[in-house]
Amino acid sequence: MGSRVLETSPATVSADERGEGRALQQVLILCHSDDTAGMRAMNNVCAGLDFSKIDFVVIDLQQVRAWPSLDAFSVVILSTSMLSKVSPERFDAIRTFVDAGGGLVAACRLWHAKLAALLGLPEVKPALHTSEGLVLRGELFPGLTTLQSDVPGWDFEHSRIPVRADSLPADCKVLAEDREGQPILWMRDVGAGRIVFWNTTSTDRRVLRGLVLHTVLGAMRTGVAAIGAFAIFQIDDFPPSLSNAVMEPVASEYAGADQTKFMFDIWHRDMLELKRRHDLRFTYYAVANYFDVDTAPDADMKAFPVQTGAEDFRERLARSLGIDAGDEVGFHGYNHEPLVDDHWPDLAVLRAKLLLARQIWLEHLPGGPPRSWVPANNWFQASHIAILAEVFPEIDIVCSLAVAGQYRLGEEREFGPEPWRHALLGLPRQTFGYVASDRVKLAMLSQVAAMGVWSHFVHPDDVYDVPPEGEESDYHRNAQKRFWRQRNESGLSGLFDELDAWLGEVRALFPWLEFVTTSEAAERYRRHIENVVEVRVARESVTIESDTGGNFFLRTRDEIDVVVSTGGHIRDRREVAGGMLHVLSCEPGRAEFRLVSGMSIERD
């Protein structure tokens, strides 16, 4: 599987060449290298297709004049508004392709006279409008309809064709709107095929990748995407720093409980209960020495905080309730200073203190050196991780942030090799915290939609991070001043109950999602990437061939049901906009599934 960028005239692929009457599932992407917005959207689409093992061909309209036969593809994706040099015959071919059952996805806002009627757009090219916000109206992917309001925090901006929902053809189903109620995404069945139109240039946003991928799958009669089917739950800063401070809001809920008692006894006990209740696996991330914060070039290596670091670490480990055998501990740093120049100006000092951290670790934690690392504050620089690699060569996994932060500080990372050090595998975290706000839920659902993966983290002290009295701020981890268990003065439930409900919802929506430790997640990711997958589709069947088996989304249109023939089973099945979403588990080799139209059948 993979991608091809065509620079010369491609050959036509006949049905016979596609093997046994089954067509290779592949996608044709039309872009224009001078269209900056379209190219950004295309890169986001391609990243989703690549992880999903969906073969795709890219044609740059700036360079290529000839196209392959469209009947070699399941979907055509238009990722450019620069269509003026496309011949009328090509647009006619697209219309014929859709009428015959193919899918057409406009991955960004575009208009052309030859496509306007097909896409549901005005016949005369209108002036573009700008708007903001995202309101999801359809169940493009399970769970999205629970987001009832404009999703805050992501600052979606749209350059769009000014159309109203009531001006669209009656057979268009609106799946998303802007804050003003104007359609941003719609789906339409035309002939035997389907079109999907993104009336925005925001499809370059990584947080929308899963939604964009499922518009591609949804445009197909049957669409298959390989998924990871695993989840990571990480706990940063555990065991935490010892502190006898008594602070709100915990003090009002647990009289006399200082931070040490709350985080080690109450918080950790309750988290272990959630772990058992929802069948989780934890990866804790430990700091070696919280109290030695001297990172200056002339740092005193014999200072009291340095000398007492090992004993403090031992006491913190002893104070915890223990680490379950199925869980693991990763590295969070010597102290909690980020590995960047502003915090570690002298690399020699960094090396010396990382050596102290290694010594502390090996003396007090069983199981050998750590394999994974969460950077303090999620920040790091290339020069500093080179020193980390010298001292901890066993660390081969780095976990920062996926859809937030600044790239120059090591954030906004993709799953895959760390760009600044390819020997490190990046498994960035998509979401954090205890409360499933619309903002974090959209990020979670999009990640599961794009990869069949969820990566999440919390801190033991999140409950303490509240805005100062009289102020409001979304930038605090407990911005609503919730208690841990009880309802607060505003009637809001505690963080424990919020997380319990969130995990329960995840379990209900995605029962096939398996929580694993970070090191196990790395192995599963590598197996997924190395797995060679080929998907072939026919009118009445789907065949998935793979080296190592695995899990897959199979999305079908409304009238199609799925029956296992051989080599796999159906793990889950949900109604989604325009059809059904199945989750399949396939054995190595060939798995075959029969497609049955127009009837309901008994499934395994």
- Please enumerate in sequence order all residues whose Cβ is within 8 A of that of 313, keeping only pairs 6 or more positions apart, or say none: 286, 288, 289, 360, 364
Report which of 402, 398, 445 is spatially closest to residue 426, judged by C-alpha positions: 398
Same domain, 245 and 176: no
Q: How far apart are CA 51 and CA 229, in angstroms?
A: 13
Q: Mapping DSSP to helix (H, G, I), strand (E, B) and coil, where does residue 205 land?
A: coil
Task: Answer yes or no: do 270 and 312 share one domain.
Answer: yes
- pLDDT at residue 10, as a whole number: 41
Residue 96 domain-assigned (yes or no) = yes
Look at residue 83 and tell me if it is in a domain. Answer: yes
Q: What is the mean pLDDT of residues 351-360?
A: 98
Q: Average the pLDDT over each of 2-6, 63-67, 399-403, 568-572 and give the range with the smallest value.
A: 2-6
Average confidence (pLDDT) over 402-420: 96
- Concatenated DSSP letters of 98-154: HHTT-EEEE-S----TTTHHHHT--SSPPPPEEEE--EE-S-SSTTGGG--S---SS
Give me the CATH number covering residue 333.
Answer: 3.20.20
Instruction: Among 173, 197, 220, identify where a domain stops.
Output: 220
Q: Is 470 inside any structural domain?
A: no
Q: What angle do CA 359, 363, 364 make, to 5 degrees?
A: 120
Q: Residue 445 and residue 372: Cα distance in Å, rounded?
A: 25
Residue 26, domain extent: 3-220
Mean pLDDT within 3-9: 46
Q: Are residues 193 and 253 in the same domain?
A: no
User: If we measure between CA atoms, which residue out of 239, 416, 456, 454 comes closest to residue 332?
Assistant: 239
- To the nearest 10 degrees (0 to 180), the angle between helices 209-219 and 438-451 is 50
- The count of domains in the chain is 3
Q: Is the residue at 505 inside a domain?
A: no
Instruction: Say whether both 427 and 550 belong to one domain.
Output: no
Question: Are 208 and 265 in the same domain?
Answer: no
| Cα–Cα distance, 542 to 545 (Å, whole number) | 10
Q: Which two tokens stand for residue 145?
A: 């309809």
Average pLDDT over residues 493-510: 98
Residue 152, pLDDT above cutoff 90: no
Residue 599 has what pLDDT?
54
- Residue 148 pLDDT: 66
Whole-angstrom distance, CA of residue 209 vs CA of residue 50: 12
Residue 308 counted as domain residue: yes
Q: Is residue 508 part of a domain?
A: no
Looking at the fold, whether 188 and 257 belong to one and the same domain comes out as no
Give me the pLDDT at residue 19, please: 42
pLDDT digits (tens, 9 = 90+) for 263-306: 999 999 999 999 999 999 999 999 999 999 999 999 999 999 99
pLDDT digits (tens, 9 = 90+) for 440-494: 999 999 999 999 999 999 999 999 999 988 776 667 999 999 999 999 999 999 9
Within a domain: 119:
yes
Q: Verify that 125 and 268 share a domain, yes or no.
A: no
In a domain, 468, yes or no: no
What pLDDT sits at residue 3?
A: 54
Please, which residues have CB within 8 angstroms of residue 430's CB and are 6 or more apart in sequence?
402, 403, 443, 444, 447, 454, 455, 456
Q: Give the residue from 455, 480, 506 where a domain finishes.
A: 455
8 Å CB contact between 171 and 188: yes
16 pLDDT more than 70:
no
pLDDT above 80 for 15: no
Residues 291 and 355 in one domain: yes
Question: What's the pLDDT at 602?
Answer: 47
Question: What does the alpha-carbon distance between residue 322 and residue 309 come to, in Å, rounded to a whole number?
Answer: 20
Residues 78 and 167 in one domain: yes
> What CATH number does residue 135 fall under?
3.40.50.880
pLDDT of 169-192, one tens digit each?
999 999 999 999 999 999 999 999
Give the model's pLDDT for residue 5. 52
Please check whether residues 254 and 391 belong to one and the same domain: yes
Last residue of one domain, picked from the residues 455, 476, 504: 455
pTM for the whole structure: 0.95
